Structure formats: structure tokens, C-alpha cells
Structure 1
Amino acid sequence: MTAPAQPPAEQPLLSAEGLHVTFPGRHGDPPARAVDGVELAIRPGEIVALVGESGCGKTTLARALLGLVRPTRGHVRFGGQPLEYSSRSLKAYRKRVQLVLQDPTGSLNPRHTVYDAVAEGLRIHGYGGDERAAVASALSRAGLRPPERFFLRYPHELSGGQRQRVVIAGALVLEPELLVADEPVASLDASVRGEILALLLRLRDELGLSALVVTHDLGLAWNIADRVAVMYLGRIVETGAVEKVLTEPQHPYTQALLSVLPEAPGDPVVLTGEPPDPSRVPSGCRFHARCQVLASGEAERAGVAGACREVDPGVLGGGGEAQVACHWASSRAHLSHTGSPQE
């Protein structure tokens, strides 16, 4: 009896394919490999969290996906079509993919009313409909009701949470298909963060929005994402469903990031040193100089210490399956699968 045919995988809404972004080095240094070979796909209606320490390249990757930085190599695709970099093409693209920044105060012009802040995108794109109705609808969807009460207010008259809702309304007014949210709650009080995260989830459910949420906070990823991609020194080193990655982390870097959460069992893993300079990416696994598994001798006992130092574990695919770029984790998976030592 033949197995039933599998349905075709849904085409990603936004994808990075072999993406590299390098910046010229300073004072004769080699180029900085800010994004160093990334495959990433975001499907319609999916929320993906991109997590990692400051300086790992996640904001540069987000800017490349938005068309704000042109890749050195590789491609960004939206709806299956490669992103074009003419002014006209980028203007049309940015109507469909909107950015929500970390600091709502810095995102809003203090001299513009809430109405003008939200209407700005409509005016840039030559909206031909009822502007007042569109602004009111966007503010209402962002949780500012009744919207007319906010039209003539200025940013300084609003709370931090209200300002972030205005920024989200300014993105929603163009009816985008995907939001890129860069640390969307980092500057907000803890009491307000949950409200904004709940809003993003509601927008996904009501409007079918996709989102890439850039964050250093794995707790935020747990609360909002369907899938997580962990980034280190320009590469995604672990990816998969959020429950899988955050309850059974395979990469030592992911394990270290999770160990410092308040609810994490055991002692926190203290990584030595800072992330390496992206102009001098180490040989082998790019994490090996800070890796607690290599330092403790576990990698040596597993027979992979040499590979950790010398062999690049490669670029992970952009699909939704669980993947890890780690020789030690791969050796453990092999042993658990075969039940015998690796040959």
C-alpha cells in the first residue's frame, strides 16, 4: 500500500536565501561579516522570533529583509519574487512589509499629532480613500478607542504603551502583510509589555498578519512566537518550533541564553568574553571559543572537539523543521538514534 501524497509546503511569504551582508573594515581590517549566510523563511500568518545577544547581526538581518540594507550576496524574496531595489519597487514593497521600532518616542515626531503620525504613510503612498476613516480604523485596531479622542493629541501627552500603539497603528494603516518588530516592548514597563504582545497576537489572528520579532528576550519569544531562530555572529545556529527549542535546546549557545531566565533550572551558564569581532570570525564552529561544552571536556569525550575547532558546521536551511549547527549536538542526536557509538 502506497503512502498518501503529502500536501505541498506553503510558499513562504518572506524568505532570505544565502544572505550575506558585509561592511567595509576600519583601518585596514577585513570586512565585517554582519550577516554571514542566512536561510530564513516566514510563512503567511506565522510569527518568527529572531533572538540573540546584541551585536549578533539580527538587526542587520531585519534591515536587509526590509530592503533598507542591500545584501552583498544572496536574495530576499517576498511572495516568491526576488526583492528589487529600485525606488519604485521598494516603495511598493514597504507598503506590504512594515517596520515597528523599539523606541516609540524616537519613532514619533513630537510636533505631529497622533492623526498626522498615523496618516503619514497614507500620504506617502498616495492613498485615494477616506483618510479619516482609515486612521480611525488603524487606531481602533491598535487598541486606542475611541480613536477620535486621540486624533489631536501629541506624543508627550501619551503613555509609553499608548505611543507604541500609535506606532503600530501607523504600520497597520497601510494594511501590510508582514510586520518586522525590532525589540517592540524593550522600552516599556513590565505592566504594559503583556498588553502589546497580546495586541500583536490578536492582529495575527484577526488580520492574518505575519511577523518577524527581533529580540534578545527568550521569554518574549516564548510568549509570542510560533518559531524561533537563534542567531550568533551572523548565522542562525538553531531553529525550530518555539516549544521545541526553548524546552529542549540543543545548541550550547541557546542553552546558555535560556539558563539566565529567572525560571530556568540549575545555575546560569556564564559565557566567557564577548562575541568575536565579525571581521574575524573564528574557524570551525564560530561559538567554539566561548562554548561551555568544549571548555568542560564534554565535546572531547564525544569525539568532536577537533571538529568544533576546525570544521564549519554549515548554514541551516530556512524551513520550519528543528535544526542545529553544532557538532556536539549532532553527535548526541546520532547516538540517541543508533543507540551505539558513532563510527
Structure 2
Amino acid sequence: MTTAPLLSASGLHVTFPGRRGGPSARAVDGVDLDIGAGEIVALVGESGCGKTTLARSLLGLVAPTAGRVTFSGEPLSYSSRALKSYRKRVQLVLQDPSGSLNPRHTVYDAVAEGLRIHGYTGDEREAVAEALSRAGLRPPERFFLRYPHELSGGQRQRVVIAGALVLEPELIVADEPVASLDASVRGEILALLLRLRDELGLSALVVTHDLGLAWNIADRVAVMYLGRIVESGPVEEVLTSPQHPYTQALLSVLPESGGAPVILTGEPPDPSRIPGGCRFHARCQVLASGEADRAGVADRCRTEGLPVLGRRGGVACHWA
């Protein structure tokens, strides 16, 4: 693994205008994140925490309000030509393969679409066949003339992955890549992503709400809450010894955790009205139980904000 990151976000903010002139929603509210060459990073958090918006911003689909994204040391430019070149090197794999694939296109056309958009001049049939083989659909010629409705859910997801691989990207962003699949198929797709990393040196950002998935696939994990990363580090370190109460709560619901699940009260706050102090304090089980009081940090939790967590990882929590 190289020391310089392949993809890097620095001080990233993404805000959306409020309704009827109301306050802006801070979907991403200060994020530093690195992804190294050949590294798989899991971005974890519950729905609405901003992880998909962060992923879209890293892909150049949403321009940041502040901060910047760099790829191979070069700042990302948002001109049409620069983005087209960038998206050849960084590909997206979406959650729902049925929604990602045009039902009127054959598997061959679905995989070849990226080649045609980018003006590929080599042997198209050979490139499509190789991408399908790498994605585990063999012999590939057997799938060329099939339509999405003729495939299983796992096969459809492999076609989506093949469509990303055909351009030989350096990094893929996978947004909940196995959420819509049966449990028996999930392991196969995760094993495929790991094999692609080992064989091709492919980097990946895997967006998920499932810490069990992160444990099985990632080298590093970043836990996101209300627009910020609140804990990050090597996956074994974070998931065997979580420091942030939010990470502890997410882990507590896994069957293998062995303890009683932590039930968080209420919903995540509105990103247009982020509370003062620690942004998790209104739902924090450590604060609610009196443990933060006993540690002498309860007032800081309620009133003192925390700095953006640096790219070296750690935990953003007064109590921790």
C-alpha cells in the first residue's frame, strides 16, 4: 500500500438550501477521509447520516460547498471534460441492481455502455467478456444476450460490477452493494470484491449501515453521524474496542456482540438544526445513564463542540 492516498477529502462540506428560505441542511459538515491504493474503507452509519451524500461528493456527482477532493494528488476539477476522465478511473456500484440496469438492454449492452461513452477503441467484445469473467459470470458469452429479468439478484449485481470493471477503474464506490441480496448471495459478492482487490489492486469505498459487512471486507472503517465522521481506524481496532457511544450502539445489535442491544432514543436531528455541543449528545446512552456525569464531562458534551476528526483516525467524543 502506498503512503500517499489515492483519494482524499479535506475539510469537505456539502450543504443544501432549506425549504422556503429556511436554514440550509448540512448533509456533510466537515470530513477528512483518505483511501489508499488497494485499500477497502467502509463508511458506516444509519440512514440519513450523510454517508451517501459524502460518497456522491467523492464521485464528483455533488460539488462540495467547501473543502476539496483530490485523486492521485490532483484536485478534482468539475468541468465536464475533467469529470468524464475522472469517472473512468472511479466507478459507482449502486445498491439496487434491478434499478441500475435498463430492462430493455442485454447484459452485453449494459456492460459495453461505459466503453461506448468513453470512446473505447479496442476490441469491445473481448473487453466485455473479460469484465464479466472477472465479475464471476462464466462463460461470459452465455450471458451476452440475456436480459436483467432472466438473471438472479446475485447475477444482476455481478453485471453491475462488470459494468464498473470494464473501464479498468482504480477505485470503486459501492453504495450498499449487498443490501438487496439474499444472505446466501451476500458472501459471494463480498468475496468477489476482496478477490478484485487482491488481483487488480482495486481500491473501494463501501457505504453501508451494516457493521458486520464492514468487519468481513474492510481494512479501515469510518463511522459517520449527522454529517461527520465520529470514529475511524483499522477495522479490527474499531470493531473490537469501539470508543464512541454511537459505534458501541451500532455494534450492540449484531448477534455476535453477546451483550444487550443499546436502543437509541429518538431520531437523528435535522441536519439543518444540528445541536450545540457533541452532535450525538441528545441520544447518547452514556450521557443518559449518568456515566458522563460521573466522568465529569457531561457539561462539555452538551455545550462544547468537537473538532473535525483528522485523517489519521481516532474518536470525536468528550467521554472517550
Equivalent position of 1:180 in the other structure: 173
Match of 2:188 among 178, 187, 195: 195
Report % sequence identity.
Answer: 85
How far has the Cα of 1:203 moved from its partner? 0.1
Q: Which amino acid aligns with 2:185?
A: V
What is the CA–CA distance in structure 2 between the aligned matches of 1:324 and 1:151, rounded to whole Å? 48
Aligned pairs for 1:49-128 (under 5 A) are: 49-128=42-121
Q: Could you give the per-residue CA deviations for residues 79-99 of structure 1, whole angstroms, max 9, x where no partner exists?
A: 011000000000000000000
How far has the Cα of 1:27 moved from its partner? 2.7
What is the CA–CA distance in structure 2 between the aligned matches of 1:189 and 1:120, rounded to whole Å? 27
How many residue pairs get aligned? The number is 320
What is the CA–CA distance in structure 2 between the aligned matches of 1:252 and 1:111, rounded to whole Å? 47
Task: Please give the TM-score of this superposition, normalised by the length of structure 1.
Answer: 0.92
Equivalent position of 1:238 in the other structure: 231
Equivalent position of 1:279 in the other structure: 272
Equivalent position of 1:340 in the other structure: none
Q: Could you give the per-residue CA deviations for residues 2-48 of structure 1, whole angstroms, max 9, x where no partner exists?
A: xxxxxx97110001100000000113321000000000000000000
Q: Is the 8 A contact 2:2 2:36 kept in 1?
A: no
Match of 2:215 among 218, 222, 225: 222
How far has the Cα of 1:264 moved from its partner? 1.1
Match of 2:136 among 143, 146, 149: 143
Secondary structure in 2 matching 1:222: helix
Q: Which amino acid aligns with 2:19?
A: R
What is the CA–CA distance in structure 1 between the aligned matches of 2:222 and 2:232, rounded to whole Å? 4
Q: Which amino acid aligns with 2:242?
A: P
How far has the Cα of 1:318 moved from its partner? 1.4
Equivalent position of 1:209 in the other structure: 202
Equivalent position of 2:123 in the other structure: 130
Q: Which amino acid aligns with 1:327?
A: H
How far has the Cα of 1:262 moved from its partner? 1.1
Q: Which amino acid aligns with 2:281?
A: H
The list of structure 1 runs, each at least 4 consecutive aligned residues, that deviate by more than 3 angstroms after superposition, is none
What is the CA–CA distance in structure 2 between the aligned matches of 1:265 and 1:247, rounded to whole Å? 12
What is the CA–CA distance in structure 2 between the aligned matches of 1:150 and 1:28, rounded to whole Å? 51
Q: Which amino acid aligns with 1:326?
A: C
What is the CA–CA distance in structure 1 between the aligned matches of 2:297 and 2:269, rounded to whole Å? 22
Q: Which amino acid aligns with 1:88?
A: R
Q: Which amino acid aligns with 2:319?
A: W
Aligned pairs for 1:224-303 (under 5 A) are: 224-303=217-296
Do structure 1's residue 326 and structure 2's residue 317 form an aligned pair? yes
Secondary structure in 2 matching 1:263: helix
Secondary structure in 2 matching 1:270: coil
Match of 1:170 among 163, 169, 191: 163
Q: Could you give the per-residue CA deviations for residues 235-258 of structure 1, whole angstroms, max 9, x where no partner exists?
A: 000000000000100000000000
Structure 2: which 5+ runs fail to align?
none
Secondary structure in 2 matching 1:327: coil
What is the CA–CA distance in structure 2 between the aligned matches of 1:181 and 1:295, rounded to whole Å? 35
How far has the Cα of 1:122 moved from its partner? 0.2
What is the CA–CA distance in structure 1 between the aligned matches of 2:21 and 2:36, rounded to whole Å? 41
What is the CA–CA distance in structure 1 between the aligned matches of 2:109 and 2:127, rounded to whole Å? 12
CA RMSD, Structure 1 to Structure 2 (Å): 0.9
Equivalent position of 1:334 in the other structure: none
What is the CA–CA distance in structure 2 between the aligned matches of 1:259 and 1:40, rounded to whole Å? 25
How far has the Cα of 1:292 moved from its partner? 0.4
Q: Is the 8 A contact 2:2 2:37 kept in 1?
A: no
Aligned pairs for 1:19-58 (under 5 A) are: 19-58=12-51
Which of the pair has more CA radius of gyration?
A: 1
Q: Is the 8 A contact 2:252 2:262 kept in 1?
A: yes
